[in-house]
Structure 1
Amino acid sequence: MANTFCVTITHCMSDPDKATLGFVVANAAQGSEKETMVFLSSEGVYCAVKEEMAKIDEGAPFAPLKDLIEKFIKAGGKIYVCTPCMKKRSITEADLVEGATPAGGAALVEWLSAGSPAVAY
């Protein structure tokens, strides 16, 4: 059984439910002692933008996206943000929440090629 887990998120403002659920699952995986990586691509890159993530709150029973992301990072989860997707949207590394790392698709491929299960939102 793999000791890692991957959640890919491609939505944020257009479908905040998917962004929220992605981080709920990522926190569950991290809490289950799986080394967990979230890969944000397409519109999902906005999940790591400080000002944008603060706007997402789906309400009970879910915590606000900002709280879910902070919990995930504090627990040791890794967040990689697609560099080309950031460039397309004029997002810089300075715009990202502390703990999020710009990365290309190679980081995702490397993580998955080691046998990590993955889910996508």
Structure 2
Amino acid sequence: MKTKKLVVVISRGMDDERSSVAWSIANGGINNGLDVSIFLVSSAVDWVRKGAAEYARPNPEDPTMKDMIQNVINAGCTISVCPPCTKVRGYTQDDLIEGVQIKGSVVIHEPIKEGAAVLTF
């Protein structure tokens, strides 16, 4: 049986609880056997800057952001960030946590063409 795919596009940063919901849903997808891809745009790219998610917990009912992000990486899922969104913040690849790549939206097009469900936050 072919693994079903889920693409989660996150545009919310540390000031919005919906970002926590997005990471929580992505982790739920992983726990349910989905092949998850994350694409971060706008202020969401701040989540993967080294040290940024260490103590953040927008929703106290969810695990820490650091744990949710690390779980996605540990599961071998793709986390990509928008190149212009990183550039405008002055971030380079060296500023991001290991396992995150700066790549354009083309990285989510293939899973979408293969029928991935897409959620945006």
> Do they fold alike, i.e. is TM over 0.5?
yes
CA contact (8 A) 1:5 1:35 kept: yes
Whether 1:105 aligns to 2:88 is no
Q: Where does structure 1 differ by over 6 angstroms across 4 or more consecutive aligned residues?
A: none
Partner residue in 2 for 1:66: 66
The count of residues paired between Structure 1 and Structure 2 equals 120
Summarize deviations over 1:12-59 as a string: whole Å, max 9, x none. Answer: 1231x1221111111111111111001001111111112222242125
The TM-score with structure 1 as length reference comes to 0.90
Aligned-residue CA RMSD (Å): 1.6
Partner residue in 2 for 1:24: 24
CA contact (8 A) 2:3 2:35 kept: no
Structure in which a larger fraction of residues adopt helix: 1
Partner residue in 1 for 2:116: 116
Aligned counterparts of 2:71 and 2:25: Cα–Cα separation in 1: 12
* Unaligned residue ranges in structure 1 (runs of 5+): none
The TM-score with structure 2 as length reference comes to 0.90
Residue identity in the other structure for 1:93: Q
* Unaligned residue ranges in structure 2 (runs of 5+): none
